Amino acid sequence: MDDILQNGHKLLHPGLSVDCVIFGFHGNQLKVLLLRMKHAAQWALPGGFVRKEEDVDDAAVRVLQSRTGLEDVFLRQFYLFGEVARSEPNLNGEMMVRQGKAPDQDHWLRQRFVSMGYYALVDFQTAVPRPDPISDACAWWDLQQVPVLALDHSQILAKALETLRRQLTYQPIGYNLLPEKFTMPELQKLYETILNKALDRRNFQRKMLGYGILKRLEERKSGGAHKAPYLYSFDKERYQLALQDGLQQGW
């Protein structure tokens, strides 16, 4: 840490950071991954700096891995937070003061930073976070219970959630979040959880089947109610195509 404070300007691309919003879903719960740095009062998104010799997209993957332990996460760019005001008051600098450092006004960490936002949606049960050495906690938070975050991270989280919700209208979602075979109500619950609202059962089913990304299986869900619901799985080829071209399969 001391080395980075002293030599960061030689190693890092100036004035550029990345912040990762990792949403986690499992069993009808939607969470977000947050970190709390040692000596810090507030929780924050996992973020960090970009090395001089590193693609920005690669930096996001490395930062996420090194700060939270999460690997193999497919991160998407969603927005560059480029306002001047986000670096004032200079909370990076203040944090350093709290940690007993007193950086000069022209210290690299006190300069203006723009931050590239990345997001992903993973199964939080298989993604077990561990904090890095400069943090004392790394945890999945219920979205409803997230406190006010450090810096402008509350806005970054809000924008990511908006992006994730919009994504539902034109891209498929659910692969790796649901069991391989799932029922229509389970898929609907995923959408309802992300959107935080109830959806009409029949409309949902009609719309979802219309996308042509589901295969209805021969077997039905055993146990449970008198009429066992159908089981579905994703048609991986069509799912992949819809990821690429959009759910409407273009025009």
> Between 55 and 180, whose beta carbon lies closer to its own copies?
55
Write the binding mask 54 to 83 for its own copies: x where contact by CB under 8 A, - elsewhere: xxxx-x-----------------x-xx-xx
Contact status: 7 vs its own copies (CB under 8 A): no
For residue 220, give the amino acid letter. R
- C-alpha distances (whole Å) from 95 to each of 13, 75, 82, 156 are 21, 27, 21, 19
Contact status: 15 vs its own copies (CB under 8 A): yes
Write the binding mask 29 to 58 for its own copies: x where contact by CB under 8 A, - elsewhere: ---------------------x-xxxxxx-
Closest distance between its own copies and the C-beta of residue 33, in Å?
22
Q: Which of 73, 46, 6, 58 is nearest to 132 (CA)?
A: 46
Using DSSP, state whether 54 is helix, strand or coil: coil
> Between 116 and 149, whose beta carbon lies closer to its own copies?
116
Write the binding mask 93 to 132 for its own copies: x where contact by CB under 8 A, - elsewhere: -------------------x-x-x----------------
Cα dihedral value 59, 63, 66, 67, nearest 10: 180
Q: Which of 8, 88, 78 is nearest to 50 (CA)?
A: 8
> Between 17 and 135, whose beta carbon lies closer to its own copies?
17
DSSP assignment of 95-162: HHHHTT----TT-GGGS--EEEEEEEEEETTT------TTEEEEEEEEGGG--PPSTTHHHHHHHHHH
Closest distance between its own copies and the C-beta of residue 84, in Å?
6
Torsion sign (Cα): 62, 68, 70, 74: negative
Contact status: 11 vs its own copies (CB under 8 A): no
> Between 134 and 243, whose beta carbon lies closer to its own copies?
243
Using DSSP, state whether 45 is helix, strand or coil: coil
Among 3, 71, 84, 106, binds its own copies (CB under 8 A): 84
Residue 210 neighbours by CB under 8 Å, 6+ apart: none
Closest distance between its own copies and the C-beta of residue 233, in Å?
21
User: Both tokens of residue 145?
Assistant: 């219970």
The residues of the shown chain that bind its own copies, judged by CB under 8 A, are 13-16, 50, 52-57, 59, 77, 79-80, 82-85, 112, 114, 116, 165-166, 168-170, 191, 195, 199, 204, 207, 245-248, 250-251
